Structure 1
Amino acid sequence: MDILDQWLWRQEYWLPPGISWEDMSKVAGASCPRPRDLTLSLPIAVAFIGLRYIFERCIAVPLSRHLGVRDRIRVPVFPSPKLEAFYMQHRPREPSQSEMTTLVKQSGFTKRQVEFWFRHRRNLDRPSSTTKFCEACWRFVFYLMSFSFGLLSLIDKPWFWDQRECWRGYPQQPVEQAHFWYYLIELGFYWSLLLCVSVDVKRKDFKEQIVHHIATIFLLGFSYCSNYVRVGTLVMLVHDSSDFLLESAKMFNYAGWKKTCDSLFVIFAVVFLVTRLVVFPSKIINTTLILSMEIFQPFMGYYFFNALLLVLQALHIFWAWLILRMVYKFLFLGKLEKDERSDDSLEDEEDCEEEQSSWKKREVVLNSKLSSLTSSCVMNTLTRQRANSSSRLPKAR
């Protein structure tokens, strides 16, 4: 503990110059934010994981069936211990040419059969539509409740309307009970997302999602210890304002409600671009980077907090680019073909299989039509021959 007090919890790191931990406890009293409060977020994260398990099976799955979510039937691959061992060890990487030659010799399959086996094996690991619906449904419920709770707790606060109020009396500002739990619940939720990242649906921005979760956890934890709580509540509210719209659009997309999905996505795109590219930099970052300097001198926590906000803003720009690509497709192609954050290789494989199956179906239909046409031609020929022979019989007589 002495080492932590000497290195980690040094007041020069967390508080402005001239302010000590004793000053914080004397002024704010029992409502003073204490670093040890953050340990409560870990059992909250575990509770979220258990609650999510129950919610998905008792509520999300029946709701998916009610809305019409259907999972595609996937044909299992032919059992091959050698290929399975290689796949489990190197997934999702494709085997190289030398490895492909070795696998062909070990399995006794042809090269084309091995490629076919790996393509179908990867498709078996793809999450089903029901799985993706349940994940989106869980996040939708949390983000909607979090946004509603945050808005109700902040709508009557002066710093919600005037961001200069975030620094009035800083850092000796008491933390209200509602904002205390707002912080811990949000922090516990992002801990649960980080702990479940290996089992959740992997998308194109998988690495960016991990960076986002880690940056958010550090941002919430540091802002609480440094009593940046007023600004932190605004940051959480801005993020939750568009997240539940995105998750609701995903839910209806998996259910096949294309018009509803497209409408929700347009609303989400507008809200996201306004809140993340306009409100967040002009109100939040401007407040912490510039307006705060009117109250205190820069310290290490000032630079650390603003660096995390800039990391989040860089991620916002990246996601805004993906969203604008989807909006472009929606405006000029007339529909949203797929989520820009999805795994392209897996989607392409399934689309290829669907195209092949559709061609097979067309081939069967064409063959049946050709056979019926051929049989009808044969019958017509036979009928004409019989008619001609019957017309000759009276003359012969």
Structure 2
Amino acid sequence: MSVFSQSQLYPLESSPCPEVTSAGSGRMSSFLDKWLWHHEYWLPPGITWKDMEDSDHDRYPRPRDLFISIPYAFVFIAVRYLFERLIALPLSKQMGVKEKPRRKASPKPTLEKVYTSQSTCPKENELLALSKQCDLSVQELKVWFRHRRNQDRPSISQKFCEASWRFAFYLLAFVAGLCVLLDKPWFWDQKECWKGYPQQVLLPSQYWYYMIELAFYWSLLFRVSWDVKRKDFKEQIIHHIATIFLIGFSYCANYIRVGTLVMLVHDASDYIMECAKMLNYAGWRRSCDVLFAVFAVVFLITRLIIFPNVVIYTTFYHSMEIFQPFFGYYFFNILLMVLQLLHIFWAYLILRMVAKFIFLGKIDKDERSDDEESDGTEEEEEDERMETKSASSNHNGVLNNMTNGMKGKSNERNKLPKAR
């Protein structure tokens, strides 16, 4: 007999919901049962929610289990705060992470008001109006706004700490996923994913694997406004919401076995990518290049070979040997196909980077969707040199030498590979 009770393994274990006494609540419950929780949407033909009720020894996934991931998300946020300050930040100093020098914008209340309340990058006509108002040239205004934007950009140490946190989680999640799945028959034979479906008992290891992954993505969504802003900020939010939705749907429909395979396949390359980011921020160029090549190989194998030929194939064909198609079957497979289209798009961008690396010997920039915004330091220096040149024509020779020197440094910096 196990030393753990069922309530200890599943914290949200509770008695069935009490009867609804309120007329309004009753109507709402009836509406949800008809349009949201109707068994024909979630379960194969001939199976109802009564067939999925727990017994003394067997337990099945229930939608209310997902609520436990919300408080766990805040636990992740607290752990991340401590991890970044106690582990990641000292590690960044040990690895030689250096901050780029940034010039602060001079105090100008009028421009500051425009920056904070109207636009951080005013258009040409707005710059002309500000030029008359502040008695500054358009070029000086451009330099001021660029300096001001640079002040708000995250530091390299902050980027390193964020990448370190994601690396730590994805690595632990991948190892935990292997521990959960290696001894399971459906890991080696995907037909086992559908044996007895949907009345497949929920194991404690599967429950916690799902809850931890779901809580992590909730924490990313809650923290997205404070994390490093990238060009695909909106896409990040959509991605986090879509991931949460996919995990939740697969749990409610008891696609647990396939769901664990999907999470494992994705975690297999994510931690390599985050490690490459860390090396890039630390200036370890050669190691970053090698790890990027490893990431590209793992990504292409897991996302373009294993995912479609193992995961999608079993959901399309093997599942039909057990039950007839229903709404959940079509919906889940459509989501997997959308995910595969994203994989193909990302693989195309990665292969472009690999081609540049092979034929040109460098990676000018990251083509991935979450490429980080450049600090624009070279543009700032070029603008300032132009201003100095127009104000002091007697130093043309010196300025030309400075320009040539800065161009050489800029070309060297352009050769440095950037993280995803």
Smaller-chain TM-score range? Answer: 0.7 to 0.9
1:89 pairs, out of 105, 110, 117, with 117
Q: Does 1:16 align with 2:47?
A: no
- What residue is the counterpart of 1:296 in the other structure? 323
Name the CA shift for 1:354/1:54 in 2 (closer, same or farther; >3 Å): farther
The one of 261, 274, 280 equivalent to 1:234 is: 261
Please state if 1:281 is matched with 2:282.
no
- Aligned pair in 2 of structure 1 residues 314, 350: CA closer, same or farther (>3 Å)? farther
| Aligned CA distance change for structure 1 residues 345 and 191 (closer, same or farther; 3 Å) | closer
CA distance in 2 between counterparts of 1:349 and 1:342 reads: 19
Displacement of 1:291: 1.9
Equivalent AA in structure 2 for residue 49 of structure 1 = I
**Alignment partner of 1:31 is 2:87:** no
Q: Match for residue 266 of structure 1? A: 293
Residue in structure 2 matching 1:310, options 333, 337, 353: 337
| Cα deviations by residue, 1:162-186 (Å, 9 ceiling, x for unpaired) | 1111000000000110110000000
Hey, what does 1:382 align to over in structure 2? none
**In the alignment, what sits opposite 2:221?**
194
What CA distance in whole angstroms lies between the structure 2 residues aligned with 1:342 and 1:119? 24
C-alpha deviation, 1:21, in angstroms: 1.1
Distance (Å, rounded) in 1 between the aligned partners of 2:366 and 2:155: 15
Is it true that 1:148 corresponds to 2:193 in the alignment?
no
Paired AA for residue 56 in structure 1: E
Q: Once the two structures are aligned, what percentage of the paired residues are identical?
A: 60
1:139/1:244 contact within 8 Å kept: yes
Question: Which stretch shifts more, 200-209 or 260-269?
Answer: 200-209
Q: Which amino acid aligns with 2:133?
A: Q
Can you list the C-alpha shifts for 1:333-377, whole angstroms capped at 9, x where unaligned?
A: 2233443348879427223346679999x948969xxxxxxxxxx
Please identify which structure carries the higher helix content.
1
Select the residue among 323, 326, 342 that pairs with 2:353: 326
- CA-based RMSD of the aligned residues comes to 2.5
Q: Is the 8 A contact 2:153 2:375 kept in 1?
A: no
TM-superposed deviation, 1:99: 1.4
How much does 1:153 deviate? 1.0
The equivalent position to 1:121 in structure 2, one of 137, 148, 154, is 148
Opposite residue 324 of structure 1, the aligned amino acid is L
Name the aligned partner's letter for residue 116 of structure 1. Answer: V
> Rg: which structure is higher?
1
Query: Which residue, out of 259, 262, 275, partners 1:248?
Result: 275
For 2:40 and 2:322, the matched residues in 1 are separated by 16
In 1, distance between residues paired with 2:36 and 2:112? 47
String of CA shifts for 1:184-225, please: whole Å, max 9, x gaps: 000011111112222222334434333322221111001000
1:216-245 Cα deviation digits (max 9, x unpaired): 111100100010000000000000000000
The answer to whether the 8 Å contact 2:350/2:368 transfers is no
* Contact 2:230-2:373 within 8 A present in 1 as well: no
Extract unaligned runs of 5+ from structure 1.
368-397
Number of equivalences: 366
- Calculate the TM-score normalised by the size of structure 2: 0.81
**C-alpha displacement of 1:46:** 1.1
Q: Secondary structure of 1:329's partner?
A: helix
Paired residue type of 2:144: W
Which one-letter code corresponds to 1:244 in the other structure?
Y
Matched, 1:224 2:251: yes
**Residue in 1 aligned with 2:126?**
99
Query: Aligned partners of 1:167, 1:265: CA distance in 2, in Å?
Result: 36
Judged with a 3 Å threshold, the aligned counterparts in structure 2 of structure 1 residues 321 and 91 are, in CA distance, closer, same or farther, namely: farther
Q: 1:17 aligns to what SS in structure 2?
A: coil
What secondary structure does 1:103 align onto?
helix
2:385·2:399 contact (CA, 8 Å) conserved in 1? no
The residue type paired with residue 53 of structure 2 is S
Q: Which moved more, 1:45-54 or 1:179-188?
A: 45-54
Provide TM-score, normalisation by structure 1.
0.86
Give 1:317's aligned amino acid: I
Instruction: Select which of 19, 22, 35 maps to 1:7.
Output: 35
- Tell me, in whole angstroms, the C-alpha distance in 2 between the residues paired with 1:351 and 1:304: 49
